[in-house]
Structure 1
């Protein structure tokens, strides 16, 4: 009888573990993970604004006070320069790797002069950029990606209707461009 109870308990534990693994792996195998959805927005290295209704990629902005834009990128060939500026009550950005792990985040309070100026690159690309030490990049923040593919989500806070045009202009003017290593 003990062996039967032991086998049943082990079977139940195994089933629980198997179900957890399946649930956690499902987005990766179905193509519904965040990176895949952002890449479905359009061409890489470009911010795409998200509306309140889900778009063809299934992405939506459910917060009425935040305006969102997302950009997929690949730093295999060259670093990506994330830029934006404007007068807003608050903005923030999150840089994520392909697996949706947050690599870096910042907001307007921690940015130099309130402007977004980040270069996302591999470790080797960052070493070459730092060695060149161009004055033009003196106030740029460097972010090392653990893997070449990722995405950025830019958020602009617009708590009043009068601020929505500024938030939309901020997101429309945001850059997600590949940049040369030797400027």
Structure 2
């Protein structure tokens, strides 16, 4: 009778440990490796980086859309809040922020066709507990750990639209508030 109880107890403990690893530790590890790969390939912290136009030769992520132009910014709020300022786009566009656990903590539209769409969307990313002074029209996003990523997606199915999206990267900001 004692042997099955020990076996079931060991199984339950193993199941709880696996559950903890999959739900808690694995996302942090994945994001850490993604950030290391990005910074290792020359992407600076607090600077928007446009990805090359998606073609079969440039696919570095699983199934990116060839109709979208992507820009990414690696964020570190350990030294204080970071401000993102991104122009809207005349077609579909979005801005997403992912925390250190790969959770999407912000998803906003950059579509200039929407009613009351601002010409530029401004977001402040801060660590929970950091003091933030922001205008009423500015969204504030709090993260639990200092590392985060911001991703812009803009509909750009042609080379001309891709070039127009790329021209917005230098006028976008991602840096200390």
* TM-score, normalized by the shorter chain, greater than 0.5: yes
Q: CA–CA distance in 1 between the matches of 2:62 and 2:116?
A: 27
Aligned position for 1:78: 80
Contiguous gaps of at least 5 residues in structure 2:
none
DSSP 3-state at the match of 1:118: strand
Aligned position for 1:119: 124
The 10-residue stretch of structure 1 (21-30 or 106-115) with the greater mean CA deviation from structure 2: 21-30
- C-alpha offsets along residues 31-61 of structure 1, whole Å, 9 cap, x if unaligned? 8643333443432101112223256xxx587
DSSP 3-state at the match of 1:125: coil
The alpha-carbon distance between structure 1 residues 151 and 112, as it changes in their structure 2 partners (threshold 3 A), is same
- C-alpha offsets along residues 98-149 of structure 1, whole Å, 9 cap, x if unaligned? 11111111012487424221111133322xx15xxxxxx3422222222222
Equivalent in 144, 154, 166 of residue 156 of structure 1: 154
Aligned position for 1:165: 163
Q: CA–CA distance in 2 between the matches of 1:149 and 1:90?
A: 27
Cα RMSD (Å) of the superposition?
Answer: 3.3
Contiguous gaps of at least 5 residues in structure 1:
131-136
The alpha-carbon distance between structure 1 residues 176 and 61, as it changes in their structure 2 partners (threshold 3 A), is farther
TM-score of the aligned structures, taking structure 2 as reference length:
0.71
TM-score of the aligned structures, taking structure 1 as reference length:
0.69
Aligned length: 167
Alpha-carbon contact 1:45-1:177 (below 8 Å) kept? yes
Aligned position for 1:69: 71
More helix by share: 1
Alpha-carbon contact 1:95-1:105 (below 8 Å) kept? yes
Alpha-carbon contact 1:50-1:61 (below 8 Å) kept? no
